[in-house]
Amino acid sequence: MIEDLDESNVDELLGILAAKPLDNITMIADCTQLKPWCDIRILKQNGKPTAAFSLYHDLDFLAGAFWAESSASLHTLLRDFDDQIRGESLVIICNEDQLKILSAVCDNVVPIRERQMVADNSSRLSEWGDVPPEKLSPLDADDLRRLYINCGIPAWTPSVLELGPFYGIRDVKENIVCVAGVHYVTRFGAEIGNVATLPDFRRRGLASSCIRAVADELLDDIPIVVLHYFEENRPAQLLYERMGFSYSDSDPVYFTKVKFD
């Protein structure tokens, strides 16, 4: 039986996902804070969930996330999405075990390795910028849009400002030149992201100050924060390691391109 995610089954699914929160942090976010932007369905066999798939409908490209006990259960569930994904290219974020399941379902799998790092209340995060960041609000949306475009991140949307804290640093002309924020915030954990610094202001520790401010606020209320970076992004690696983030037990994860034929 395949069901849409709703109030009658969400707690049961979250109970399964929360058993391994770092493995399933994206799917947890989809089932909670990001649910309005997702089409989420659950496969139940013998009355118990065996797979769940989330397809985003707020992006300029197809993307999704999943949890599954086996490749067979994922394959059964994905057939229910045939009218949306058959013959289409998708991006799916998954861990190593999920990548194996996905690879058994689809031949056209191109994984791009990402690293997952974490911090909690026991972490001693450091920052070395000499300008204190300020908390931003939706009133800063236009300034942030310009910053992200100038940093080559045109896909940013103002709606994320409603999801959790954003901190930024301005130049002498009051333009935002560095920012860090979130991708989502749940009671199980949050993902720090949307980090950007204009080229002329890099290597000054500004990003460390913004990221630290976001992490400190989040960790007042939730147990852990995560962040991801593409493995080849050496500057991000050096920044996060120097700040004191550690690699998670679920590291690495994969930004996976697939096509369902």
> Which CATH number goes with the domain that contains 238?
3.40.630.30
The answer to whether position 119 is within a domain reads no
> Which whole number is the average pLDDT over 135-152?
96
| Number of independent structural domains in the chain | 2
- Whether 92 is covered by a domain: the verdict is yes
pLDDT in tens, 167-208: 999 999 999 999 999 999 999 999 999 999 999 999 999 999
Confidence of residue 107 (pLDDT cuts 50, 70, 90): confident
Per-residue pLDDT band at 76 (split at 50, 70, 90): very high
Average pLDDT, the chain: 95
> pTM for the whole thing?
0.94
Q: Does 108 lie in the same domain as 144?
A: no
SS (H, E, C) the chain: CEEECCCCCHHHHHHHHCCCCCCCHHHHHHHCCCHHHEEEEEEEECCEEEEEEEEECCCCCCEEEEEECCHHHHHHHHHHHHHHHECCEEEEEEEHHHHHHHHHHCCEEEEEEEEEEEEECCCCCCCCCCCCCEECCHHHHHHHHHHHHHCCCCCCCHHHHHCCCCEEEECCCCCEEEEEEEEEECCCCEEEEEEEECHHHCCCCHHHHHHHHHHHHHCCCCCEEEEEEECCCHHHHHHHHHHCCEECCCCCEEEEEEEEC
Model pLDDT, residue 106: 87
Residues 31 and 61 in one domain: yes
Q: Are residues 63 and 169 in the same domain?
A: no
Domain that holds residue 57: 2-114+254-259
Q: Are residues 161 and 97 in the same domain?
A: no
